[in-house]
Amino acid sequence: MFTNNRIVFLLINSALVLLTACGGNETATVVNENSKNITADQTKFIKIEDATTFLPSWSKENVLVYNVVGEPDEMHPTNGILVYRGEIMGYTQVYLIGTDFETLTLRPIAVKAMPTVSDNGKEYTYEVRNDIKFDDGSTLSVEDIIYTYKANKCPLTNNPSAKSYLENLVDIVADKNNPNVFTIIMKEKYIQNISFLAEFPIMQRTFFDPKNVLSKYTFTQFNDKKFKADEHKDLTEWATEFNSAKYSRDPKYTVGAGAYRLEKWDAGQSITLVRKENHWTKGTDKKYYTSYPDKIVFKLNKEPNSQMLEFKAQTLDASTSLSNKTLTELQADTTFNANYNSRFTDTYNYGFIAMNMKPDGIKNKKLFVDKNVRRAMALLVPLDDMNRINNKGRNKRTVGPVSILKPEYNKDLKLIPFDIEAAKKLLDEAGWKDTDGDNIRDKMIDGEKVKMEFNLNYFTTSIEWKDVAKMVSEQMYKAGVVAILNPLDPSVLFDQAANHNFDMLIAFWAGNVFPEDYTQIWHTSAWASKGSNFAGFGNAESDALIDSIKYTLDPAKSIPMLKRFQEIVYDEQPYIFMFAGVRRNIIHKRFGNQEMYFERPGVWLSNLRLLPSSGTAMKLSANPN
């Protein structure tokens, strides 16, 4: 995901800095500036001046309550797919490397520096820091690093969506002369030979593998597709224990070397993180290592009216996930603007409607096996109306799996229009006609009369998803297509999708600024392995392009391949691509150090520091922890 991109770094100019006092003219300025869209081609992050006055209505409690519209599927260190899992683990775990959100480059975390790279570009040597401690006081070591990647590579570990990121990993070798030095050996030169490390939190070997089972096995064995892991009793016993639910939700077992620990998880309500006492980062004021709030509460509230009430009552401190409509309405309120800073910013995410291209024909009928039928479905989705009604026109339409913010986005591909008559014609040509006068198209498939009727799965996390699904269903019915609204919890939706048990679903993928490996979502192997290729997309040419792109470090060579890949996706129409994501950032003015990023998670919560509650705000000192 990361190469040496040319990065333009600049702070937001003074005209865009939010005013914080509560006079009438200043409030009007805040309303106007808040409502602007800030795009990634204008700046790389937004810095907002600290409030100079602490208003009487502001809470003095050093607890940050962050609104979320969904929960993690689990908090397991290797297993899980939903975006909130990764966001929360950013505060509870430590990674070898991470992203500098300001410069959009890589930064070392558990290692002292970025790696020394061999002449052949396949060996990466790092030195681990010797000051990072786990909760029992033991020092994070090379042994923990080797264990972490073995655990993720093990065929019995229940992390299919992560496996593709590790395919190029050959071995990790500890230095014989320096116990803090290790070398990661890769199979090929690869666009993610460094960045993949940012996806895997470092686990404490003695906690997760007290019998040291994985030390008996090698990366070579785990790389061998003929290796029969389930025939090794000690390995299966380790995997059964390691994959168990206790490591997913129980605070006693969801441990890590991060500055916060999971205090409690009230399912359907909130997840509370508490700052660790005497953590190894104590005393630092270095960004990304700070832990200013005593507690961070991820509070679940996905109902727009309730969200607005909570922000007006100041019971929520921050959010990045309100709907465009909700934040736009809040920004019209002068009291809200006196208490909160807010911005709309671009993201590298995109929304989509996926269709099952490879159904079993029994549980899920063969509705979308013909690409012309899939194109007809795309013609039936009123995306421009959705953007105008649901998104207040803020979102930008997209046509493929590459962010519109990236130079490799294929601008030659035309947006698919909303055209019911064109869709009807394609369905007629594909043999889908209403033969019995019930206003539902049907077709004989494998000797059975099948109706063009199916479940349209969508998230329960926000009213927006329901609104989108409803608009899709209403327009499709005009063409004799019945899409039955089927709201699902995100974990259920993704589980069904990974197991190919769906007809059509609405969701989004979270992307980033850096070059991507499209294996996880688009390679045929990711369908066979029940990875994230939910639709079942792919052929020999697309697989070959994906395999080549990820090993081509020169953009001049990779971009033409990426554009051809997008053409194939566009022609096959596995997804109805919707909109590039817009992040809705809100932070209460009682906190200083406010910055908003285009990269996930958008706001670094642990760096927000409660301002002094009396007199003029003072310059912030070092992290109290």
Give the pLDDT confidence of 534-592 residue by residue, as tens digits.
999 999 999 999 999 999 989 999 999 999 999 999 999 999 999 998 899 999 999 99
What average pLDDT does the segment 370-382 reach?
98
Residue appearing with tokens 């990121």: 165
Q: Is the pLDDT of residue 347 over 80?
A: yes
pLDDT of residue 600: 85
Quote the distance between the C-alpha of residue 252 and its chain's center.
Answer: 26
- Residues 285 and 296: their CA atoms lie apart, in Å, by 18
Asked if the peptide bond before residue 359 counts as cis, ω within 30 degrees of 0, the response is no
pLDDT band, very low/low/confident/very high, at 613 (cuts 50, 70, 90)? confident
Measured between alpha carbons, how far apart are the two ends of the chain, in Å? 33
Instruction: Output DSSP code: residue 618.
Output: P
Q: What is the pLDDT of residue 15?
A: 23
Dihedrals phi, psi of 9, to nearest 5 degrees = -110, 125
Q: Does domain 348-581 have CATH number 3.50.50.60?
A: no
Calpha distance 189→515 (Å, rounded): 14
Distance CA 65, CA 307 (A): 12
- What is the structure's pLDDT at 620? 41
Domain assignments of the chain as residue spans, ordered by start: 94-249, 348-581
The answer to whether residue 6 scores a pLDDT higher than 80 is: no
> Considering only CA atoms, which of 429, 295, 292, 452 is closest in space to residue 366?
452
- pLDDT band of residue 39 (cuts 50, 70, 90) is low
Are the beta carbons of 507 and 477 closer than 8 angstroms? no
Quote the CA–CA distance of 376 and 431 in Å, as a whole number: 13
How many angstroms separate the most distant Cα atoms in the chain?
80
Strands 97-100, 116-117: parallel, antiparallel or unpaired by DSSP? Answer: unpaired
Residues 6+ apart with CB under 8 A from 491: 71, 73, 74, 82
pLDDT at 625: 53
What superfamily would CATH give domain 94-249? Dipeptide-binding Protein; Domain 1 (3.90.76.10)
What single letter denotes the amino acid at residue 428?
D
